[in-house]
Amino acid sequence: MIKAGIVGGTGYTGVELLRLLAAHPNVELTVITSRGEKGVQVSQLFPNLRGRVDLAFVEPDDALLKSCDVVFFATPNGTAMQSTPVLLEAGVKVIDLAADFRLRQADEWEQWYGIPHACPELLAEAVYGLPEVNRRAIQTARLVANPGCYPTAVQLGFLPLLEAGVIDRQSLIADAKSGVSGAGRKAEVGILLSEVSDSFKAYGVPGHRHLPEIRQGLTAVAGQPVELVFVPHLTPMIRGIHATLYATLVDSDVDLQALFEQRYAAEPFVDVLPPKSHPETRSVRGVNQCRLAVHRPQNGKTVVVLSVIDNLVKGAAGQAVQNMNLMFGLPETAGLEGIALLP
């Protein structure tokens, strides 16, 4: 059994990790940390885990975490990089669900996140944990940077088009919407029910922290720099991301449906829908799945890709478990074979 620890077990991604790992056939939950809830039973704070998780929260302690085989950091940006070098030296594998190791350049990280990087020497080693792109590297990694939620939905949508070279790399647009859980579990006026219900707004238009991550990933796939306009929106729902992606075709003869179906034919967690489909966020609620549909309106020069994920699962905790499976040589789908909740 893999001994797993979670640092930051009280946030939305932390409890989602708990839900998935508690049912994983090859995992033993060993350490779950929370400074604010030290000594509290996990099932007392999260009653859905009653009878499944018989642990209490403890304060973060590198000595305790060193007893694990893998440690997940479901913490604010800037936390994982403080403990990761010590854990790696002890032979513990690390999966960071925050942004500490997603960007390759320390100066770019500091520009977007406002603090110096604590261990820039690890940025080159960290593997970006998008299995559909980096599966082989993840299998041998000891440090994985779990992708963000928006970056997962956007990159999976653009990936086949950029790999095939059939779109203009300089005119990409990602119009993305997220549920409120993407903001995290915190008391903040802007995400109160009475503030977000019956409303809809864009935010971060001048520059969102996920922009450099998305641009970095798409540039790596394309082999050349890309230009991307990324506009996130907040929607009055709890879970889900819907990304509507636009690009200009440079190859008018390409069979877009076949291109997407062939690219993702062997991918267990990407589902390409039939022509003329419109995927819904509820179709992926609670599961580690990205559903895609590709359109070419009026048979023109613009391709439109619709991409939906659950921001807490394929956009966070589920993808982290998928990465763990790869790192430990398990079936990639282990513990992730659930069916989405409807209605």
- pLDDT for 260 equals 98
User: Lowest-pLDDT range, 85-94, 149-158, 183-192, 252-261?
Assistant: 183-192
State pLDDT tens for residues 278-332: 999 999 999 999 999 999 999 999 999 999 999 999 999 999 999 999 999 999 9
pLDDT surpassing 80 at residue 188:
no
Nearest residue to 117 (alpha-carbon basis) of 133, 105, 135:
105
pLDDT confidence of 185, banded at 50, 70, 90?
confident
pLDDT surpassing 80 at residue 190:
no
State pLDDT tens for residues 16-62: 999 999 999 999 999 999 998 999 999 999 999 999 999 999 999 88
Q: Which amino acid is at 243?
A: A
Question: Structural domains in the chain?
Answer: 2-125 (3.40.50.720), 150-311 (3.30.360.10)
| E-state strands within 83-162 | 93-96, 127-128, 143-145
Kind plus residue range of the DSSP H or E element containing 293: strand 290-295
Establish whether 119 is a catalytic residue. no
pLDDT surpassing 80 at residue 186:
no
Q: Pairing mode, if any, of strands 70-73 and 93-96? A: parallel
Summarize the confidence of residues 213-218 as an average pLDDT. Answer: 97
Summarize the confidence of residues 6-10 as an average pLDDT. Answer: 94
pLDDT surpassing 90 at residue 205:
yes
Query: Are 289 and 307 within 8 A, CB to CB?
Result: no
pTM: 0.96
Burial of 163 (0-12, 13-18, 19+ CB in 10 A): middle
pLDDT confidence of 189, banded at 50, 70, 90?
confident
Residues 119, 125: Cα–Cα separation, whole Å = 11
Residues 31, 57: Cα–Cα separation, whole Å = 8
State pLDDT tens for residues 84-138: 999 999 999 999 999 999 999 999 999 999 999 999 999 999 999 999 999 999 9
State pLDDT tens for residues 228-250: 999 999 999 999 999 999 999 99
State pLDDT tens for residues 148-182: 999 999 999 999 999 999 999 999 999 999 999 88
Q: How many CB atoms lie within 10 A of CB 314?
A: 27
**76: three-class secondary structure by DSSP:** coil
Residues 305, 327: Cα–Cα separation, whole Å = 31
